Chain A
Amino acid sequence: MSVAILRQGDALIAAIQSDLTDAQVLALRDDLSERVGRHRLHAVIVDVSALDVIDSFVARSLRSMAITTRLRGAETLVVGIQPDVAIAMAHFDLNLKPLRTAKDLDEALVLLGERVEEDGGAG
């Protein structure tokens, strides 16, 4: 298995360990979106720090992953994008705005923590 999926509190952490085939990417997307709804989770963190290459298909899939999980009630954060990968992704003619990002897992958890505080304060 090239993706480790862990649960941490309200969040699901998917750590991609090695390059995925297109089919595996789509399977991962469906799997995550399914679990989010089933366990009533609020966040998905996808760690791509092990990937040296993200092609436009994977980028588009990550984007659609972000959108589908949001529709199911959870925020998706992609963490650990490498500099070269970031440059390549910025060159894709792809609107990646729905894709939220953080530097690493730590930061993502901090960001999510802040959000929970804010939500708590507001409601």
Chain B
Amino acid sequence: MTAETGTSERPAASDESLLPELVAYLRENRTGLREQWVERITAAGLLTAMTPDEIFSEVTAVYDNYVAALETGSVETLQAYARDLSERIIPRGVDTDEVLGIVLLLRDILARSLFVHYQDNPELLHRILDAYEPAANRIAVTVGVSFVEERERVIREQQDAIRELSTPVLQVRDRLVVLPIIGMLDSQRARQLTEQLLGAIQANRARVVVLDITGVATIDRTVANHLVQAVEAARLMGASAIITGISSKIAQTLVDLGVDLEQMRTVGDLQGGLEEAERLLGYRGEAAATDQRT
């Protein structure tokens, strides 16, 4: 920009001063533009999860933050606000496309009003837009990214929570532990499960382990193979693993996948699994007496 001295020295000098003018204009027309924005949001059917009053107060805050970000060129405050906002609205089911749609609506409304305001002076309008567009785009990106980051953080937290409460190890009798598995099994969880299983065998000197997968909805090939390996590893450590609660869907999947289930000892439900376990452990209780399976 500094190289061009002769023909267009004015834009280089005045671009800096245009943003304050722009900001002043947006402050002046705050009420009108803000209302227009709310109308457009309502008309587009966005933010249906929130009441009109809530929309209005959030819109006011976003508008002010937006203008402030234009003025200072720093998006940090806006970013913090966007995070905070996301934290409040994500639990209410607001989607990413809604958030992006709203920010882009504001961008359009402001651009349109700039067009109207400066239409008599196309050259000035050009330079105003030159100043406005990059800043507005940066703001839109910031808000969108903040929202997505917040959402990912929530997802990560939930995954961690699920992972932590996923697999308790229950000692049922001497040398017998039960691992009830609830929720989705992915290969990372399956690997963790194997470690927990073997740790439990080591710690409780278990001779029989019952893996109850009643609470598992689906399974894929990788996880099925993990399961087979977990059972084999348990056997190598001197413990028998019994798998119970295989749903008909999972059974079908396992057959379709052609997983080698020969070495897996399976029993229909947890009760049957415990009876089988007691038989293996040599308890001659009622359960073992009535159990005629071989």
- Asked if B202 and A104 make an inter-chain contact with CB atoms under 8 angstroms apart, the answer reads no
B294 to chain A, nearest CB (A): 15
**C-alpha spacing A99/B263, complex, angstroms:** 13
- Asked if B238 and A87 make an inter-chain contact with CB atoms under 8 angstroms apart, the answer reads no
**C-alpha spacing A107/B199, complex, angstroms:** 18
- For residues 73 through 123 of chain A, which have their beta carbon under 8 Å from a beta carbon of chain B? 78-79, 81-83, 85-87, 89-91, 96-97, 99, 101-104, 107-108, 114
- Asked if B239 and A87 make an inter-chain contact with CB atoms under 8 angstroms apart, the answer reads no
Contact of A90 among B205, B236, B239 (CB under 8 A): B236
- Asked if B236 and A101 make an inter-chain contact with CB atoms under 8 angstroms apart, the answer reads yes
Residues in B whose Cβ lies below 8 Å from that of A91: 229
- Asked if A83 and B195 make an inter-chain contact with CB atoms under 8 angstroms apart, the answer reads yes
Describe B's contact surface by its main secondary structure: helix
Chain B interface category by residue count: 20 to 34
Q: A101's closest neighbor in chain B, by CB?
A: B238
Beta-carbon contacts of B253-294 to A below 8 Å, as 1s and 0s?
A: 000000000010000000000000000001000000000000
Say yes or no for B234: interface residue by CB 8 A criterion: yes
Beta-carbon contacts of A49-76 to B below 8 Å, as 1s and 0s?
A: 0000000000000000000000000000
Say yes or no for B135: interface residue by CB 8 A criterion: no
B261 to chain A, nearest CB (A): 14
- For residues 137 through 187 of chain B, which have their beta carbon under 8 Å from a beta carbon of chain A? none
Contact of B237 among A86, A96, A108 (CB under 8 A): A86
Contact of B236 among A89, A104, A107, A114 (CB under 8 A): A89
Contact of A99 among B229, B234, B236 (CB under 8 A): B236
Say yes or no for B232: interface residue by CB 8 A criterion: yes
Residues in A whose Cβ lies below 8 Å from that of B40: none
Beta-carbon contacts of A9-32 to B below 8 Å, as 1s and 0s?
A: 000000000000000000000000
- Asked if B205 and A83 make an inter-chain contact with CB atoms under 8 angstroms apart, the answer reads no
Contact of B238 among A81, A89, A97, A114 (CB under 8 A): A81
- Asked if B207 and A87 make an inter-chain contact with CB atoms under 8 angstroms apart, the answer reads no
Contact of B201 among A83, A108, A114 (CB under 8 A): A83
**C-alpha spacing A90/B228, complex, angstroms:** 9
Q: B231's closest neighbor in chain A, by CB?
A: A90
Q: B282's closest neighbor in chain A, by CB?
A: A114
A113 to chain B, nearest CB (A): 12
- Asked if A83 and B238 make an inter-chain contact with CB atoms under 8 angstroms apart, the answer reads no
**C-alpha spacing A97/B263, complex, angstroms:** 8
* Most B-side CB within 10 Å, residue of A79, A87, A107: A87
Residues in B whose Cβ lies below 8 Å from that of A101: 235-238
**C-alpha spacing A50/B236, complex, angstroms:** 15
Q: A83-B202, A90-B233 are in contact. Are A103 and B194 (CB under 8 A)?
A: no
The 8 listed contacts between A and B (C-beta, < 8 Å) are: A82-B237, A83-B201, A83-B202, A86-B198, A87-B194, A101-B238, A103-B205, A108-B238
Known: A87-B229, A104-B238. 20 other contacts (CB 8 A): A81-B238, A82-B237, A83-B195, A83-B198, A83-B202, A87-B194, A87-B195, A89-B233, A90-B229, A90-B232, A90-B233, A96-B232, A96-B236, A101-B235, A101-B238, A103-B201, A103-B205, A103-B237, A103-B238, A103-B239
